[in-house]
Structure 1
């Protein structure tokens, strides 16, 4: 029989629902509160808390079709019939309920009764010592003993470190001799004849630190079956890529390229890479992961850029991959509705990334080709790590992409050298980060203090001042008993209203006072979980044990509270206006302004910024109450409170709720009602990294000051142009039109100048190596004029090479042209001009028949032209 992948998936879920299983939707690809995983990579991954007993499942029997991403074998994707970066894993799970007998019986019956597998084609592998599984398969199911193969721990025992583990049994299907590597192919061969279909894991032991396998009191079942592989068997096709999960994509691509899918293995591989990778990227972006240079975003960027490279191999007109998204949505949107809801966002994100990569891919490939040519000439086989790093850092080439291209050409990369260059970059970044660059000795000191004293109490959420006592004083990284007037240091108190910098909110300032002592607190930081007050002694002498009043600067705190609450409103509004893919990636809250970094794939338009600003101000005017709730992390998640994926939270957390509008985990200080913010004004929006945007804004009085400043600038601009602010735009339009007319006149003049000079230059023609060559310096021509002059000269030459240089005072411009007959003989304008420009402290390139370049050292212009003579003579 033949079934669609949708029918196969649904039959699986329905079958196990009939056996008492709860059908759960697929978990997102991004693991929730599991820092050990980059992606959900197996059906059981979302259920780890149920397997290890940390949480109680909603039911002891569960069945899912789970989205998964694995990229550890990405170089094999496209080359084999069954490697994928994205796949769906069908799985049924038992948490202390049924065990081997039911798991085996149901798996067998599903394949035979629902999928109509032929019984005599089914082969079984089991762990070598699992006699119980052998007896079930042989006696209860009726599989002949010769088709039950015992295998070792590597093949049929599931274990990762200490903890729950157990033997597994794999179901294989014999596809027939035509799929084998020979007529004598036997079970266990790496070829495709005996296709692994389903893995049943029997979690029955607890592996201890002492190396013992103790029986678990509650045994679990974890199974996994790839939908793609099952569909290839049911649909009777040669590979996973010929199933209905991939073929609509392949057929769509085939409509836009002249290369037929079956024309060659290389072409087939390109089709498959594109089909696989676009599924991964679509589903990942649908779950909120945008291409970037960090973490999951880097993986998605790498996958997408690999697909772009293979699209180029099919001569597809880029950007192209984003056009495949609707096809993926049509195939998978019924099961994974998030990609239906976010289809437009996914297309925009992919298109944006394609355009960015396309801008640098050709240049990077040219550099890589040159590197490989140099290695070939030198007889070397390893691309230096520094070169790999330059391609990554400057041209956006993932290390893995360089490595893959190198392998295709028979070369390797210096991975260790690349990592060293990466570490040097990180070191430079750390050195440049002056803020909070605490020494290890200082941190160790604070850890020691923390072990000796009770944890100081923070009372600043509700009190702007409190009575306190000095516990420790630190000066120059050493504990001291006192500080005198004029000295600086750090102090730890028994309790404090001072908020230590955290979550983007800067630390409080203020004072420590009593009748004899005046101390200014210039900053507050958290070090080793202690609140450190950075202080200056204004009067008196401060000693350990002194009792004082600690007072924060209430005006500063008020402005900080306004800005911090405004960041929460902004975060939610960005999701509402731009899409749920928006996530916070950084923030800064000071008294004067706020800064909010977020994931987004393109610049925010003026219209969107206006809508964002308007919506935040509407919420401010609603004067919503801001409520603080202290609860458990689990309860906060159930409430739907927003959290940062990379943030580590304690079991007890603080939730900030703003009316019915926003709910976030946050330890910062906030206003009591949104009306206190008064006014919100965006001052700037821009990109700070690939896939990361930044909005800066002001609130309250600072917002009013900003508007007044902009108004004054507008008045000054109007006055300078002798008009009114209302008529300023019209005045600018007229001036721009006039400037355009003048520029056209200047261009005409330059072209006439270029024409007249061209006639003079032709008379200076010289012959080098039997070739007509013109090497000439001209004065005052810009790039366009220089090209025009070169074209005019070339039109008068039947055969020749032209190199012109224009001295512009602080810089020099070059243009090189080669007639078609000489291009055919191997002369290349781009290569010539690149070396010529380097002599003058610059660089450039272009096509074989025309190229241009620039230099920063006009005094070396003569030497540069002499270099041109040498290059032409050496050909």
Structure 2
């Protein structure tokens, strides 16, 4: 056989089946579409299930793909063995009611023997025990010797997953030779040794199981095949495992060059190399498909992979962020088959860097604490309380704690850990409930018998309605009078009830002898619109006819901002990438606040692009159309749904031309021109992996301009400038003068610090082979302590300086260690921690410099006096 690279094998396979009339489809996204049964795509046929069931018509009855896949069941074993991995590619050819066994078997054999040029005598075939039809095709039509065909039972050669399409299968094995075998006389294709490698499975979906043991034949049987690309590459490259395949080796060599290690030289290093190779490859593909790091779902899988890879980098001695460099190698090896990786390279590398740096900030402290816990533990069990502290305080995931514990032959008390996690969730839930206590709580029960409200506010400004319920002081009432604060429910309304991030309407409701001021409108689960009112005059009764009239000027401002939110999301996805998803929004008459998934702050250039894009659509006066349609039709149109939101069979789609299409129940302008203008006023972080943009439209832009001009004019007047246009230049001059003054002050501070340190050095104590200098400095802040430490460290190589700065009821500790003292064993981080703990505090840091805090000032002098003894015990 001729050696072939993995990328060449993939292309040969797809080209071969294209020549057999198959449509080559690009790999589907790793994020399942319209399939809640899967977290991530885990097989070649998974994204095409609805083609097999007939729910969706395939683009052609013959299809071939190379599908990227993620399997998460064995993450803990990845690296420990050379067989486990999370990412793999599955080659497949599929027939949806077209060809069947004869063609599938013939083409599989042709590809193996003619295209791959595998020796026929080294190929073995398995079939289902009772599948005589397959046996006859293999032997009589293909010419495979019967002694190279093995019949296996249902467990091995019959594909079935509950109810639905199922059937027998035929697998192809490659004999790697007796040198890879176990030597037993019974060694064959069903043996657990490494001699016979199964690499292709051809499933004949010819029955439709009803889940109760009945298998009626399908009218149009299907073919579903799956061949692991890595396995085939192992055979063609004559290597033992997927980590030795050319593309994986190229990625691994990048890691080796960073860590200065070579695969195959050290067992522990090999584990880390395999983990980093597999996990970085998986993470790169996941991010390329729009998965963002988070603490749940597929985002947690991604975060866990990156953190596990980062930790194994540290085990190899790499303490600087490095995974982005490894991801560059992943992209280079795969960009030919997956061009989206190259298109999204900047985003992928940036997100990996941000996530790794974030983890690095907590892993050192967490690792130190975990090491201390392990060292002091005699029961071989890490307590659930310690595991929770590691997770809650240091961001150390429980999976990582378990993995490190296992390396020390220890376990974790997961029951207590889960109990603490549940307690935390309940505390958070209670806090949210108390913080947002609703004066109208319980209305759903009070209004149980009230039919849902008809909403006419999409098309009408006012409406004549009947009062169907009144709620006062948490109870139903038949009538209320002037001064009463109530919840009013009508049979129909034009007031929008707060939902989907759009605030509720305000306005007025009037009857013949009553006037009510509506301060807010909400909506309960039963779709009762509740008008939160104050009765200003008269009496209102159940059954009265009223006129409902929202504040239309306010509503128009809200509609402008809501339409702007849609345009903003569309622009963000075009500028930043399709990973952008709405993570929350608030639309009121003042502004739009839009939260979205993204990993880093937007640059000024990106923000300007987004703003310009939205304004271009506004100036183009694009009609905004609203249509109700079946949800499947809406999805075919490309309408965006809110991630995680549950929708009914009929949905409302709001479109601004081809620029924006979204599912939405809110109110909107009918033309983008009515927004007037769009202006971003801020871009900030809302949460980990979530950014927030606040913007204004229409009158909001006008107000912003007036406010900005007012600030500019007042600033110019304060600086005694006649012309506000001179403000930037004058501000630069003032800033330069301030900088110069600050520099002069710093020089004076340094001189004073040097003088103080000289005095302290004269009184330094000897501790073993080094000297120790301590001092308490009233009024010194952290910056002053750092300056003093720098002076002390540069003054004497054998010096350990321990300085305390007291400000009010608090104290900061700073510790500096000279080069010679470092060699003697002094460690600033450990000294700072030990001294601080004597004064009721804690801290730590690097070997040459560290800071800590002290809470009990009454013990500070004693703690400083103990510093020399602490250092003496530490140095050689």
With normalisation by structure 1, the TM-score equals 0.90
Q: Out of 455, 458, 463, which is 1:461 matched to?
A: 458
Q: Which moved more, 1:560-569 or 1:797-806?
A: 797-806
What does residue 173 of structure 1 align with?
174
The question of whether the paired residues in 1 share the 8 Å contact of 2:813 and 2:853 is answered with yes
How do 1:214-293 residues align onto structure 2 when only pairs under 5 Å count? 214-293=216-295
**Alpha-carbon deviation of 1:29?**
1.6
The residue number in structure 2 matching 1:79 is: 80
Q: Equivalences for 1:774-785 in 2 at 5 Å?
A: 774-785=773-784
Q: Counterpart of 1:586 in 2: which secondary structure?
A: strand
Contact 2:335 2:342 in 1 (8 A): yes
Distance 1:256 1:482 in 2: 78
Q: Distance in 2 between matches of 1:198 and 1:859?
A: 75
Match of 2:641 in 1: 643
Contact persistence 1:158–1:167 (CA under 8 A):
yes
Residues 626 and 657 of structure 1 are in contact (CA less than 8 Å); yes or no, is this contact kept in structure 2? yes
Shift of 1:697: 1.0
Task: State the alpha-carbon separation in 1 of the partners of residues 438 and 22 from structure 2.
Answer: 54
Decide whether aligned partners of structure 1 residues 355 and 874 sit closer, same or farther in structure 2, where only a CA change above 3 A counts: closer
1:361 paired residue among 335, 353, 363: 363
**CA 1:781–1:751: 2 relative to 1, 3 Å:** farther
Partner of 2:403: 404
Q: Could you give the per-residue CA deviations for residues 766-791 of structure 1, whole angstroms, max 9, x where no partner exists? A: 56789854443233444454355456
The alignment partner of 1:246 has SS state of helix
Q: Secondary structure at the match of 2:785?
A: helix
SS class of match (1:80): coil
Return closer, same or farther for 1:569/1:353 CA change in 2, 3 Å cut-off. same
SS of aligned partner of 1:550:
strand
Q: Distance in 1 between matches of 2:770 and 2:459?
A: 86
User: What displacement does 1:561 show?
Assistant: 0.4
Aligned with 1:327 (options 326, 329, 332) = 329
- Retained in 1: the 8 A contact 2:173–2:189? no
* C-alpha distance in 2 between matches for 1:719 and 1:810: 42
Distance across 1 between alignment mates of 2:214 and 2:443:
40
> In 2, are the aligned partners of 1:66 and 1:88 still within 8 Å (CA)?
yes
Structure 1, residues 509-530: CA drift from partner, whole Å, max 9, x if none? 3343321444444333333241
Structure 1's 254 and 821: CA in aligned 2 closer, same or farther, altered over 3 A?
Answer: closer
Q: Does 1:65 align with 2:66?
A: yes
Aligned-pair CA distance for 1:298: 2.5
Listed as ranges, the matches of 1:349-388 within 5 Å are 349-373=351-375, 377-388=376-387
Deviates more, 1:484-493 or 1:764-773: 764-773
* Contact map agreement 1:524 1:531 (CA 8 A) in 2: no
Q: Contact between 1:445 and 1:477, CA under 8 Å: does it hold in 2? A: no
Aligned equivalents of 2:574, 2:418: Cα separation in 1: 40
Matches within 5 A, 1:103-142: 103-128=104-129, 133=134, 136-137=137-138, 140-141=141-142
Provide the alpha-carbon RMSD of the alignment. 3.4
- Kindly tell me: are residues 659 and 818 of structure 1, through their superposed partners in 2, closer, same or farther at Cα, counting changes over 3 Å? closer
Q: Is the 8 A contact 2:832 2:844 kept in 1?
A: yes
- TM-superposed deviation, 1:263: 1.9
* Aligned pairs (5 A) from 1:552-591: 552-591=550-589
2:305 maps to 303
Q: Does 1:423 align with 2:425?
A: no
Task: Tell whether the 8 Å contact from 1:772 to 1:799 is kept in structure 2 after alignment.
Answer: yes
Aligned partner of 2:45 in structure 1 is: 44
Cα separation, partners in 2 of 1:794 and 1:687, compared to 1, 3 Å: closer
State the match for 1:509 in structure 2. Answer: 506
Residue range with higher mean Cα deviation, 545-554 or 147-156: 147-156
Pairwise CA distance, 1:565: 0.8
Equivalent residue number for residue 592 of structure 1: 590
Task: Note if contact 2:769-2:824 (Cα within 8 Å) is conserved in structure 1.
Answer: no
State the 1:854 CA deviation.
Answer: 2.9
Tell me how far 1:47 sits from its aligned partner: 1.4
Distance of 2:763 and 2:245 partners within structure 1: 68
Deviations 1:428-458, CA, capped at 9 Å, x for gaps? 33334358767999487389548xx4x5432
CA contact (8 A) 2:453 2:529 kept: no
Q: 1:7 to 1:667 in 2, by over 3 A?
A: same
Unaligned ranges ≥5, structure 1 = none
**In 2: Cα distance, 1:479 partner to 1:162 partner:** 51
1:126–1:134 Cα contact (<8 Å) kept: yes
Determine if contact 1:484/1:537 at 8 Å carries over to the other structure.
no
The alignment partner of 2:4 has SS state of coil
Larger deviation, residues 589-598 vs 642-651:
642-651
- Structure 1 distance, partners of 2:113, 2:583, is 50
TM-score, reference length from structure 2: 0.90
SS at match of 1:653: strand
Once the two structures are superposed, the pairs formed by residues 539-688 of structure 1 within 5 Å of their partners are 539-688=537-686
Q: CA shift at 1:796, angstroms?
A: 7.2
Seen in structure 2, the aligned counterparts of structure 1 residues 187 and 496 have a Cα distance that, compared at 3 Å, is same
Distance 2:858 2:107 in 1: 84
- Deviation digits for residues 578-632 of structure 1, max 9, x if unmatched? 3333222221111111111122222112233233223322322222221222223
Q: Matches of 1:200 and 1:524 in 2, distance apart? A: 60
**Contact kept in structure 2, 1:561 and 1:670, CA below 8 Å:** yes
What whole-Å deviation, never above 9, does each CA across 1:690-725 have from its counterpart, x for those lacking one? 221110011111222122222322333333344453
Question: Residues 88-107 of structure 1: matches in 2 within 5 Å?
Answer: 88-107=89-108
